[in-house]
Structure 1
Amino acid sequence: MQRRSIAILAALVVGASALAMATPASASDPPDGAVYVALGDSEAAGTGNLPYVDSDCLRSRRAYPAQLGDTLGTGVASSACAGATTDDVIATQLGDLGVDTRLVTITAGINDVAWQRVLLECRAGGDPLACGQAQADAFAAIAALPTDIAQMLAAVRSQAPNAQILVTGYPLLFGDLADGVCRAGTYRGTHVVFSAADTQFVNTGIELVNAAILGGLVGYMSATGDEGVSYVDVTAAFDGHGLCDSGSPWISRVISGTATVDRGFHIDGRGMRAYADALAAAAPDIP
């Protein structure tokens, strides 16, 4: 694990350096746009927190962008969608951006590395060969993630030239296990159990994803001189609130049933509030 981590971190440095040769996407005559626009994946969509305002994207009324829009008094135009990758953000989520957009929040990147596949294959009792392949594929994707993040930021900036762009990381999934084992619910009638070693591996992977997101942001800023982009770290806010943590978890276990299965490994309403608060502290004043 240590050798793999070093290799991935080295790849992040190379990827960020390569961005110096990249140029941001250009666009002519962007539309007016909404004042605050939210982009991203299931975390930005608030997946698992009923009721949904968009059942296709599993976008919730309780999602952090809706809470942040209320706090700022701007409302929000959200295109966040469960399962979205950085490519999906570029291809399908930029329609609400424009010259009047003053704030953009983005949570994206973890679906680029197929994190749910790692969780499924590497739980206790899973197939070791399938787990190893899932891990190898995830590490390869993490190495490419800084470039993906930079391209996404360039696309957003081309459509929102006057916006402050806030890019979040992800909370660590697992907390400090009370008895060394995390019983994370059931999946298709089978108990989902993670050992302490499993949980540490997954948390380390999320730390690498966060490092890759930050590396892509720094590389983009270095290549373009764009100072209107910031990274918002949420890991400290979730300290003590991870899955199977000894404190009060803000991340849901896997729960069987058509109305509840989407909650699994997703942030609950309290976690959404923590995201909104972290972003509110970093958001600019909007007239």
Structure 2
Amino acid sequence: MRRSRITAYVTSLFLAIGLALTGAAAAQASPLAAAGGYVALGDSYSSGVGAGSYISSSGSCDRSTKAYPYLWQAAHSPASFSFLACSGAKTTDVLNNQLGTLNSATSLVSITIGGNDAGFADVMLTCVLHSNSSCLSRIATAKAYVDSTLPGQLDAVYSAIRAKAPSAHVVVLGYPHLYKLGTFCIGLSRTKRSAINGAADYIDAAIAKRAADHGFTFGDVRTTFSGHELCSGKHWLHSVDWLHISQSYHPTAAGQSSGYLPVLNGAA
């Protein structure tokens, strides 16, 4: 590729990121990424559980037309789009079921993964139903898993992505804080809420380090969700919903479009 073309692409990319940081993210965020294929991998935070408008053919994966990957491809019209993120996915599910469409023409990959491996659902169930001490103990177990086992699992996924899509720009997105602290909030104790947020920080730090070590971009959604956590009065996350339990503690449609999408726009 000629130097002039490289310069033009880099200039366009930095301009796009600047627009994202000033609140005008959506227009032309990713000229490089949109030039090829986009593959969206990961778990329920990427499939769009909690956002509604599920694609019937996705079955129990609950892929939503309001999820950030679908919104990104609608805005940028990549050469191809493969939406493979699936509710409940762990790292092994990505390795076994989600990498088939990656190839040398893939220019953008996005992924959220690791929360289910670390036992996110069980952490929340324990913290909702049991005592402060039980909640803190379960979170400590999850953190120990993040220290001992999750890095190797993430390495396996990231290495497989790079092997199958050697030219792709890979954006690894993290998980938001679930609760706004320092406000009156009915439900879980402040001790539990603070510990749950601390667990999000812990797994995000581990994910960010592994992503950086593979040359991938980490997208921190805690910034965009700030002020829109549970207990904020204008939240972009579902609280516990006993009638639709799977969407509990997942982003709403607003969380996808205003929490996750701007981060992908700025990082892609």
TM-score range, shorter chain: 0.7 to 0.9
Contact 1:252 1:266 in 2 (8 A): yes
Q: Does residue 1:35 correspond to 2:37, yes or no?
A: yes
Q: Does residue 1:261 correspond to 2:245, yes or no?
A: yes
The 5 Å alignment of 1:1-287 reads: 35-53=37-55, 54-74=58-78, 76-123=81-128, 126=130, 130-131=134-135, 133-143=137-147, 144-176=149-181, 178-179=183-184, 181=185, 183=186, 193-221=187-215, 229-246=216-233, 248-257=234-243, 260-274=244-258, 275-283=260-268
Looking at structure 1, the residues matched to 262 and 130 of structure 2 have their Cα atoms a distance apart, in angstroms, of: 37
Structure 1 or 2: more helix by fraction:
2
Q: Structure 1 pair 254/78, CA: closer, same or farther in 2 (3 Å)? A: same
Looking at structure 2, the residues matched to 220 and 93 of structure 1 have their Cα atoms a distance apart, in angstroms, of: 19
TM-score (ref. length: structure 1): 0.75
Contact 2:219 2:267 in 1 (8 A): yes
* Aligned partner of residue 119 in structure 1, secondary structure: helix
Gaps of 5+ in 2: 1-35
Percent identical across equivalent pairs?
Answer: 32
C-alpha deviation, 1:244, in angstroms: 1.5
Contact 2:53 2:64 in 1 (8 A): yes
- For each residue in 1:246-265, what CA deviation from the matched residue of structure 2 results, as whole angstroms up to 9, or x when unmatched? 4x1000122232xx332210
C-alpha deviation, 1:128, in angstroms: 6.2
TM-score (ref. length: structure 2): 0.80
Contact 2:127 2:135 in 1 (8 A): yes
Looking at structure 1, the residues matched to 264 and 182 of structure 2 have their Cα atoms a distance apart, in angstroms, of: 28
Deviates further, 237-246 or 205-214? 237-246
Looking at structure 2, the residues matched to 140 and 211 of structure 1 have their Cα atoms a distance apart, in angstroms, of: 14
Looking at structure 1, the residues matched to 213 and 262 of structure 2 have their Cα atoms a distance apart, in angstroms, of: 27
Looking at structure 1, the residues matched to 47 and 38 of structure 2 have their Cα atoms a distance apart, in angstroms, of: 15
Number of equivalenced pairs:
228
Contact 1:99 1:161 in 2 (8 A): yes
* Aligned partner of residue 36 in structure 1, secondary structure: strand
Looking at structure 1, the residues matched to 95 and 47 of structure 2 have their Cα atoms a distance apart, in angstroms, of: 16
